């Protein structure tokens, strides 16, 4: 019963990974959209992924741009910007805009499918300690039988003989090690950690150094505004208010950080007239017949707002590792700038 429960836990972890993929998808055929089962898709077809939907295939974006949460595949805590011709992967989440994706790989052939296959195969790969336990268990079987025979010859008591077989049996040795390894692999899978087999689980005991190359692993993975720098006599309140007006409906992590700071500072917001997103550059917002620009220095320069080189160098020197510089400008006035970063780990 204990073995069934432990193995079942590992299986449930695998099933949770499989269930993360959508069962129904929207496909575009002959210019018309229709809902079909994911298993009925074929390579080369075009599917439509709406905001908040999980991507069911590996493919290439043919139309649209959006931010995609790839944490389930790549481990990145922050969504990654995807534009036309960018690759997307099954199991990732579309965040804010509609995407059309050309299907390349489906099901078990996707990157997500390979991860599931690794977890399944991990249950079959024995660790060295497990092989030692198997050999020891085989020897204990013969010892138990010999002890049982000797007990019966001496005591002529069947109950005592059975008791010796039970006590000297190898069930604990044979079952304990694989159950512990299976439980560990299943528990790791439920937490998003893929262990390739019992060998690697056993080697963890000898590790004294871990290298983590993904943001959000030790840190919270949630950006926050850490500093605001102003120019041309503007106030921090003005900078934050203008940035928050443009970002108030944004699902980008940096935009959400600006909104959290604005709410914490009780900054009043109003609805903008219109909003345009410039991929890779930022937002252009029309507010009270004037533009609010939030994004890169390039976005501001393209809209007639520029800073002198010394000011830019001064701002860049203030940036600490892990921080991102976001420029905020309005009309043709010099831009305001805000440093935005994650909390320190």
Do 331 and 228 share a domain, yes or no?
yes
Q: What is the domain range of residue 234?
A: 224-341
Q: Find, among 41, 78, 36, 79, the residue nearest to 58 by Cα.
A: 41
Do 314 and 252 share a domain, yes or no?
yes
Has residue 1 been placed in a domain? no
Do 328 and 237 share a domain, yes or no?
yes
Do 264 and 337 share a domain, yes or no?
yes
What are the residue ranges in the chain where pLDDT is below 50?
A: 2-3, 6, 333-345
Has residue 166 been placed in a domain? yes
Q: Which of 19, 134, 208, 213 is catalytic?
A: 213
Q: Looking at residue 176, what is its pLDDT?
A: 66
Has residue 118 been placed in a domain? no
Do 104 and 127 share a domain, yes or no?
no
Instruction: Write phi, then psi, for 335 (nearest 5 degrees).
Output: -75, 155
Residue 339 near residue 316 (C-beta atoms within 8 A): no
Has residue 16 been placed in a domain? no
Q: Looking at residue 102, what is its pLDDT?
A: 94
- CATH number reported for the structural domain that contains residue 328 in this entry: 3.40.1110.10
Which residue, of 66, 83, 112, is where some domain finishes? 112
Do 91 and 51 share a domain, yes or no?
yes
pTM as predicted: 0.57
Which residue, of 112, 138, 153, is where some domain finishes? 112
Has residue 212 been placed in a domain? no
Question: For the chain, how many residues are written?
Answer: 345
Q: Looking at residue 340, what is its pLDDT?
A: 45
Measured at the alpha carbon of residue 131, what is the angle toward residues 129 and 132, in degrees to the nearest 5? 65
Do 175 and 233 share a domain, yes or no?
no
Do 107 and 135 share a domain, yes or no?
no
Do 153 and 103 share a domain, yes or no?
no
Which residue, of 68, 83, 112, is where some domain finishes? 112
pLDDT in tens, 172-188: 655 666 777 777 777 77
Has residue 213 been placed in a domain? no
Has residue 290 been placed in a domain? yes
Do 77 and 177 share a domain, yes or no?
no
CA distance 68 to 287: 28
Number of domains in the chain: 3
Has residue 2 been placed in a domain? no
Do 199 and 229 share a domain, yes or no?
no
Do 243 and 176 share a domain, yes or no?
no
pLDDT in tens, 112-162: 888 777 767 766 666 666 666 667 766 677 777 787 888 878 888 888 878
Q: Is 213 an annotated catalytic residue?
A: yes
Q: Looking at residue 330, what is its pLDDT?
A: 85
- CATH number reported for the structural domain that contains residue 79 in this entry: 2.70.150.10
């Amino acid at each position: 019963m204990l073995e069934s429960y432990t193995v079942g836990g590992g299986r449930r972890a695998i099933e949770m990974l499989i269930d993360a993929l959508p069962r129904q998808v929207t496909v575009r055929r002959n210019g018309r959209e229709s809902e079909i089962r994911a298993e009925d898709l074929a390579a080369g077809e075009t599917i439509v992924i709406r905001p908040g939907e999980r991507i069911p295939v590996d493919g290439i974006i043919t139309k649209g741009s959006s931010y995609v949460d790839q944490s389930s595949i790549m481990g990145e805590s922050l969504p990654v910007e995807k534009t036309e011709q960018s690759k997307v992967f099954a199991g990732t989440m579309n965040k804010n805009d509609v995407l059309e994706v050309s299907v390349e790989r489906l099901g078990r052939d996707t990157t997500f499918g390979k991860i599931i296959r690794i977890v399944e195969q991990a249950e079959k790969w024995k660790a060295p300690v497990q092989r030692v336990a198997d050999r020891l268990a085989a020897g204990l079987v013969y010892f138990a039988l010999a002890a049982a025979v000797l007990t019966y010859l001496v005591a002529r008591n069947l109950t005592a003989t059975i008791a010796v077989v039970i006590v000297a049996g190898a069930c604990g040795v044979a079952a304990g090690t694989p159950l512990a390894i299976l439980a560990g692999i299943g528990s790791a899978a439920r937490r998003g950690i893929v262990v390739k087999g019992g060998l690697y689980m056993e080697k963890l005991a000898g590790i004294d150094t871990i290298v983590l190359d993904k943001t959000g692993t030790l840190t919270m993975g949630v950006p926050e505004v850490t500093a605001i720098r102003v120019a041309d006599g503007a106030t921090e309140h003005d900078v934050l208010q203008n940035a928050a007006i443009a970002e108030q409906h944004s699902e980008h992590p940096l935009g959400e950080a600006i909104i959290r700071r604005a709410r914490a500072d009780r900054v009043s917001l109003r609805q903008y007239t219109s909003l345009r997103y410039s991929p890779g550059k930022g937002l252009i917002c029309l507010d009270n017949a004037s533009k609010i620009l939030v994004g890169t220095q390039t976005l501001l320069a393209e809209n007639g707002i520029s800073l002198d080189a010394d000011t830019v160098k001064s701002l860049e020197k203030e940036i600490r590792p892990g921080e991102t510089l976001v420029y905020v400008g309005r009309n043709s006035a010099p831009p305001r700038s805000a440093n935005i970063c994650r909390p320190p780990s």
